[in-house]
């Protein structure tokens, strides 16, 4: 059964706490927090202050997805704010190794992220440093996009490397995930599913979380 990470990008910003409590009580293990800088991706979202505000209201794992150019500038701030996992895109810095080292030194779990157009080979040299790999299943920047089926083979490729080398990182997928698309992801080896619009643009977010889990039993 897959772990579920609702993305608060699609939550109600004015009533964030009830939305977070809802998914927490529904058994979501992880809370996915999307950070966008208006440069690596066109949109802007929020910064470390949001993570700091959210930290005391939930025990869920806080998974910070940095869609930020040169993320090493901010990883310590996010760790201090209470992030458990900090994800940095390999496309966003010439110093991915250093960025991951900085996350680890700051006491958080390092995660490397790849866009749909980036091959798994681009992150091979850092796979022994990470606790999680995020395979983007849409091009990052917006919620509510269509799942890109072509990304599934990369999940399987990572899963094979994981087994061959004895690594134990989680494989997370993000973008266009619903009770249909999650099935192929889980079969290919994904262990964590981010879901934004599927969970929050629904009358009953708890039922959506259950549906993702039931589909991957």
Closer to Zn ion at the Cβ: 116 or 163? 116
| SS3 state of residue 134 | strand
Please identify which residue in 3, 22, 65, 154 interacts with ligand DX5, judged by CB under 6 A.
Answer: 65
Q: Which tokens hold the place of 13?
A: 């910003």
* 203 assigned to active site: no
* Catalytic residue from among 19, 34, 37, 84: 34
Name every residue whose Cβ is closer than 8 Å to that of residue 152 and which is 6 or more positions away in sequence. 137, 184, 185, 188
* 145 is an interface residue for ligand DX5 by CB under 6 A: yes
* 65 assigned binding-site residue: yes
Does the protein bind ligand DX5 through residue 208 (CB under 6 A)?
Answer: no
**Matching residue, tokens 């760790």:** 79
- Please tell me whether 45 is known to bind a ligand: no
* Exposure on the CB side of residue 76, measured as CA atoms within 13 A: 5
The whole-angstrom separation of Cα 114 and Cα 119 is 8
Residue 141 binds: one of ligand DX5, Zn ion, none (C-beta under 5 to 8 A by kind): ligand DX5
Q: Interface residues with ligand DX5 (CB under 6 A)?
A: 7, 9-10, 32, 34, 65, 138, 140-145, 174-177, 194-198
């Amino acid at each position: 059964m897959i772990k579920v990470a609702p993305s608060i990008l699609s939550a109600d910003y004015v009533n964030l706490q009830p939305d977070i409590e809802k998914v927490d009580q529904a058994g979501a293990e992880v809370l996915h927090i999307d950070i966008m800088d208006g440069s690596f991706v066109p949109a802007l979202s929020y910064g470390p202050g949001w993570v700091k505000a959210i930290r005391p209201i939930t025990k869920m794992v806080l998974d910070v997805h940095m869609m930020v150019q040169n993320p090493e500038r901010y990883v310590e701030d996010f760790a201090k704010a209470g992030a458990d996992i900090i994800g940095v895109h390999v496309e966003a810095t010439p110093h991915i190794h250093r960025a991951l080292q900085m996350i680890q030194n700051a006491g958080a779990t390092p995660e490397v992220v790849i866009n749909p157009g980036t091959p798994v080979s681009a992150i091979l040299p850092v796979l022994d440093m990470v606790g999680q790999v995020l395979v983007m299943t849409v091009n990052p920047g917006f919620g509510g996009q269509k799942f890109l089926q072509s990304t599934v083979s990369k999940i399987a490729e990572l899963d094979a490397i994981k087994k061959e080398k004895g690594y134990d990182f989680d494989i997370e997928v993000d973008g266009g995930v619903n009770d249909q698309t999650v099935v192929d992801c889980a079969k290919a080896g994904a262990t964590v599913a981010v879901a934004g619009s599927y969970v929050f643009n629904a009358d009953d977010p708890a039922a959506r979380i259950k549906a993702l889990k039931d589909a991957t039993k």
